[in-house]
Amino acid sequence: MACVADREDAVREVTQVYELIKLQQPLLLLHSPQHPPPPPSTTCQLAQSLLAKALRALNVALSVMKQQPAPVTPISVIKAEPHQLSPPCSLASAESQAAIVLSTATRGAKRRRSTEGKKKNTSSSWATVTAVPYDDGYEWRKYGEKKINGTLFTRSYFRCTYKDDAGCLATKHVQQMDNNSDPPMFHVTYNNDHTCNTSARANTGSSSNLAALLAGCCNMKQEPTGHAAAAAAATMDMKQEVQEPPLLLPALVDLQPSACFHHEQIPRCQEPLFPVSMEQQFVCGPFRDDDSEIPSATGSCISGETSWDGYSGHMAAAEDDPLLDLERFLFMDY
């Protein structure tokens, strides 16, 4: 039986760190193109310190969260590796699905992409399970929809809006997993990194992730996320009044796992969080083949709501998974 006080403590700690990050953000100049950035070394030190604290707090919180019933909005992100893939979607429950990750690489082993220019990217493919598949920081244009065998819902295909302009080959497809979970979960598979913008942006796969932000800050390559969340949401029917998201981190208004962020609240940290390489570089240690969801969940922590849920979803999916693995993972570098 989970202790409510522990949970509240965990949430409180996360909140504090989050607020700290928010307060320190002007120093980080994560989104302040008007001001010249501080020296890279200072920036990186501060960023890493904050990130370490955030991860530690999140770890504590998530440790408690593990005791809770799986909330909603599970999100897991993983660099797809053929050997760690689950069998094609039992599509049974949201909990189990949270950890299910498929790759186009594996599918590619079964079949190759049909048209030219799309078959060479099996190495740049990753998948995520999320409740918010359409707001991942990039602009997508839908180019197809298909009913897939064994699925209840059609699969939607998207490609980068800037495919023509910048030759960006990034694509993704979104598959709703079932209608048993609330909110509904989507399996999103990404192919190809974005080449329509800076390398940092392309590598992260999401301009919104804190680690990506930190990376961009340290590398001084982070660009204003011009065509980010606003248009991403515009690609779908879940259109809300999405404006250019606030440049500063939003207040951590609600850490309750059962709550859902509105677009205005989402700190622009939807999935995919980033490819493995980025995550390894700035957040975590080496991945484990048998625990591949953990890094991704961690990577999403800073964003708030969705990460919590994602983590919980993962935990629910792997009940035997000891927290020690997570702690080892989180504190490896501290």
Partner DNA sequence: ACGATTTGACCTAC
Partner DNA sequence: GTAGGTCAAATCGT
Closest contact distance (angstroms) between CB of 89 and DNA is: 9
Q: Cβ closer to DNA: 242 or 249?
A: 242
Closest by Cα among 133, 127, 324, 86 to 235: 133
56 binds DNA (CB under 7 A): no
- Ranges of H-type helices in 159-263: 163-166, 199-204, 210-219, 229-234
149 binds DNA (CB under 7 A): yes
Q: Cβ closer to DNA: 170 or 330?
A: 170
Alpha-carbon distance of 64 to 3, in angstroms, equals 8
Q: What is the DSSP letter of 288?
A: -
Closest by Cα among 95, 1, 77, 68 to 258: 68
145 binds DNA (CB under 7 A): yes
176 binds DNA (CB under 7 A): no
Mode of pairing for the β-strands spanning 125-130 and 154-160: unpaired
Closest by Cα among 214, 229, 224, 213 to 136: 229
Q: Cβ closer to DNA: 56 or 153?
A: 153
Dihedral angle sign, alpha carbons of residues 197, 194, 329, 184: positive
Binding mask 178-197 for DNA (x = CB under 7 A): -------------x------
Which amino acid, one-letter code, is at 277?
Answer: S
Q: 135 vs 207, 245, 278, 310, CA distance in Å?
A: 11, 11, 20, 16
Binds DNA by CB under 7 A, chosen from 1, 34, 35, 115: 115
Q: Cβ closer to DNA: 36 or 150?
A: 150
141 binds DNA (CB under 7 A): yes
Binds DNA by CB under 7 A, chosen from 7, 66, 79, 159: 159
331 binds DNA (CB under 7 A): no
Please answer whether residues 269 and 308 qualify as being in contact, where contact means their C-beta atoms are separated by less than 8 angstroms: no
173 binds DNA (CB under 7 A): yes
118 binds DNA (CB under 7 A): yes
35 binds DNA (CB under 7 A): no
262 binds DNA (CB under 7 A): no
Query: Applying CB under 7 A, which part among 17-25, 49-57, 74-82, 156-164 lies near DNA?
Result: 156-164
Binding mask 224-243 for DNA (x = CB under 7 A): ----------xxxx------
Three-class secondary structure of residue 209 per DSSP: coil
Residues between 95 and 114 with contacts to DNA, criterion CB under 7 A: 104, 107, 109-114
Binds DNA by CB under 7 A, chosen from 29, 63, 93, 157: 157
DSSP per-residue string spanning 229-259: HHHHHHTSS------SPPSSPPP-----TT-
Please provide the size of the chain in residues: 334
For the chain, the first-to-last Cα distance in angstroms comes to: 31
Residues that bind DNA (CB under 7 A): 104, 107, 109-115, 118, 140-146, 148-150, 155-157, 159, 161, 171, 173, 191, 234-237
